[in-house]
Amino acid sequence: MKIIILNGSPKGEDSITLQYCLYAKRIIKDHEFSSYNISSRIKVLENNSAKMQELLEAISNSDGIIWSFPVYHLLVPAQYKRFIELVFENKEFIKAFSGKHAVSISSSAHFYDNLAHKYIHGISEDLGMLFHGSLSAEMEDLLNVDFRKNLITFFNSYIEESLAKTPIPKRFNPVVKRYNDYVPSKNIKESEKGKHSVLVVTDSSENDVSLNNMINVFKKKFPGKTEIVNLNSIDIRGGCLGCCRCGYDGTCIYKDKLSSFFDGCLRSYDLIVFALSIKDRYFSSAWKYLWDRSFYHGHRPVLDGKHYLYLISGPLRDLPDVIDEIYARAEIANSDISGIVTDEYDDSDTITKMIEAQCIKLIKNADSEYIPTPTFLGIGGAKVLRDLVYGLKGIFREDDIYYTAKGLYDFPQKKWKNRAFNIFVKVINHIPVLRKKIYENAVKEMVKPHKNIVENC
């Protein structure tokens, strides 16, 4: 087989993820491997059609594709996302991928790596490729002998299935827009303006009819001051490079306007509206540039306590993983989402009424300082970040200072009362008579303090 590795790391040849693929290349000798640095050369691919065409010819002449990438902010890096957008913008580019056999491999701390792999899986199917599976590695897994054996088994299985033309079932339905553009009535009354202020962040263009209409209706119905910022107007000179230099003092290596927008504008508002359109199986790469570059704040939930509303144009209901990501971001940051309004309705009046209702709810939640309790999305994600920061506190100095000050190193071993209780119960559980009494009364004892609260309120 002729296999091309599409390296999605901004670090180019110094990518850890790429080393996993290159190791397989050295071990599996009967097949031809080549690689191309996508993310580190995204500006070249955007601005030089000859270079883009050269890459697509290499893809067209290959039998298989390896999507290789680190996980940045719950997805692939922004530069990789931009490359995928470039492919979908030209039907001839899509043809280069059609019929190829694909797999994906990532390296990360396993912080929502499942979302990144599902995204690539769906994109592969949209491009007409046969997707054979994913492998998600920790940053140092290649140093482990057992993992290296598993890695080679993964790639050998991929090659064997590809050569045997093994039937591969599809996992995802196509993402299809099923509704007309949202066109509200012309006689929508503006609400009386009050004390509240809200920031609307969008990446809309003139062609985003539905989204622009949703923003305009929100502006009319929100009873307060509205500031609108378009990401395309901000000087963002590139995507996160993964250099980690910001880990020491929170300063990004880039000298552009993203940091001033994020700290001086975005973080200054308690009420924030994100207005976005679906592009392939996510939002546009402009949003990924924003989220990835916000990493100069490390793993700290710097948007904590905010109240969000999402206005989304496009078939969001076809993308449950994107919905999970939206709520995961909010829960990890201890923030509130008042609602998500999409244009997935044939009746424009319904959309207008929902926007109006969400204006009221957004303010109500902010005034009451309501923050919903987190689910596994928030709790599980926060624990992964906690362990990551604790293990790399020497690099992420600012994170360590924050986590220590906020008491986020809440490891179980610090719960001394709980540890003492468990030791005591383990000992007496060896005595059959006492063990029987413990389990007979366990349910009543667990609920007892809760009943006391209810009865004495």
Tell me the per-residue pLDDT of 298-329, one tens digit each, with 9 for 90 and over. Answer: 999 999 999 999 999 999 999 999 999 999 99
Number of domains in the chain: 3
Angle, helix 432-455 to helix 416-428, in steps of 10 degrees: 140
Task: Work out the average pLDDT over 227-255.
Answer: 94
Residue 381, in any domain of the structure = no
Residue 407, in any domain of the structure = no
Regarding whether 361 and 239 lie in a shared domain, the answer is yes
Task: Work out the average pLDDT over 206-230.
Answer: 96
Query: 278: domain range?
Result: 196-367
Regarding whether 76 and 22 lie in a shared domain, the answer is yes
Residue 55, in any domain of the structure = yes
Q: Looking at the chain, how many residues does it have?
A: 457
Task: Work out the average pLDDT over 44-72.
Answer: 96
The helix/strand/coil state of 211 is: helix
Task: Work out the average pLDDT over 142-164.
Answer: 96
Q: Of 367, 382, 403, which one is at a domain's C-terminal end? A: 367
pLDDT of amino acid 308: 97
- CA–CA distance, 388 with 300 (Å, rounded to integer): 12
Regarding whether 20 and 158 lie in a shared domain, the answer is yes
Task: Work out the average pLDDT over 179-201.
Answer: 92
Residue 412, pLDDT above cutoff 80: no
> In what order do the strands lie in the sheet containing 2-7?
32-37, 2-7, 64-70, 101-108, 130-138
Regarding whether 135 and 15 lie in a shared domain, the answer is yes
Regarding whether 288 and 431 lie in a shared domain, the answer is no
Regarding whether 245 and 158 lie in a shared domain, the answer is no
Structure tokens that stand for 121 in this block? 């899986």
Residue 353, in any domain of the structure = yes
Residue 392, in any domain of the structure = no
- CA–CA distance, 248 with 286 (Å, rounded to integer): 26
Task: Work out the average pLDDT over 280-286.
Answer: 96
Residue 201, in any domain of the structure = yes
Regarding whether 331 and 218 lie in a shared domain, the answer is yes
